[in-house]
Amino acid sequence: MRCPYCRYSDSRVLDSREADEGRAIRRRRSCVACGRRFTTMEEAILVVVKRSGVREPFSRAKIEVGVRKACQGRPADDDAIAALAQSVEETIRAQGVPEVSSHDVGLAILRPLRDLDEVAYLRFASVYKNFESLADFEREIASLTAGPPESSQDQPARFGNVMQTNGKVPSLGL
């Protein structure tokens, strides 16, 4: 770990402590060359295995991009989307596994997205659950309206919305 001030390659650890409920280690260091102090964080990398087999580090930013696409034209704001991405990361990290599939990441997004915006949820679900027909949408909408009774009177309009965008969002980038 190079010193961020002088780039020297060696430093002395002054203090180590657990951070993020034991999922990370924070170290206070002192540069051997210039003596200045800096802090490093060490945590296990959470790896996402894509359908193609490619492995990449988990990215909360990517989740936000995917969810924002699904929320296009919907009232969900950036703060809500950022909070959703954070809760997805917490859910996945709480599983305590070093690797997850991109499909599992998608599934972890579905539940909080359903609470955030039902139309965005249906768009997202149509990709992740491989909806192929009107019947798939109808089944999903039936399960939505069978859930906590919120607003079921404007259902036909919302359904129209979903069908319009279905096909325009073939990939959510995850």
Residues lying near Zn ion in the complex (CB under 5 A) are found at 3, 5-6, 8, 31, 33-34
We find the least distance from the C-beta atom of residue 35 to Zn ion, in angstroms, to be: 7
If the CB atoms of residues 6 and 163 are measured against Zn ion, the closer one turns out to be 6
Alpha helices in 2-129 (DSSP H): 60-70, 78-94, 102-116, 118-128
If the CB atoms of residues 12 and 55 are measured against Zn ion, the closer one turns out to be 12
If the CB atoms of residues 7 and 60 are measured against Zn ion, the closer one turns out to be 7
Q: Which one-letter amino acid corresponds to residue 104?
A: D
We find the least distance from the C-beta atom of residue 76 to Zn ion, in angstroms, to be: 45
For residue 92, give the nearest of 68, 58, 116, 44 by alpha carbon: 58
We find the least distance from the C-beta atom of residue 43 to Zn ion, in angstroms, to be: 24
CA 67, distance to chain mean position in Å, is 8
Strands 24-31 and 11-19: antiparallel
Residue 142 parent element (H or E): helix 134-146
If the CB atoms of residues 8 and 20 are measured against Zn ion, the closer one turns out to be 8
Tell me how far apart the alpha carbons of residues 62 and 47 are, in angstroms, rounded to a whole number. 13
If the CB atoms of residues 1 and 33 are measured against Zn ion, the closer one turns out to be 33
We find the least distance from the C-beta atom of residue 9 to Zn ion, in angstroms, to be: 10
We find the least distance from the C-beta atom of residue 17 to Zn ion, in angstroms, to be: 22
Residue 143 parent element (H or E): helix 134-146
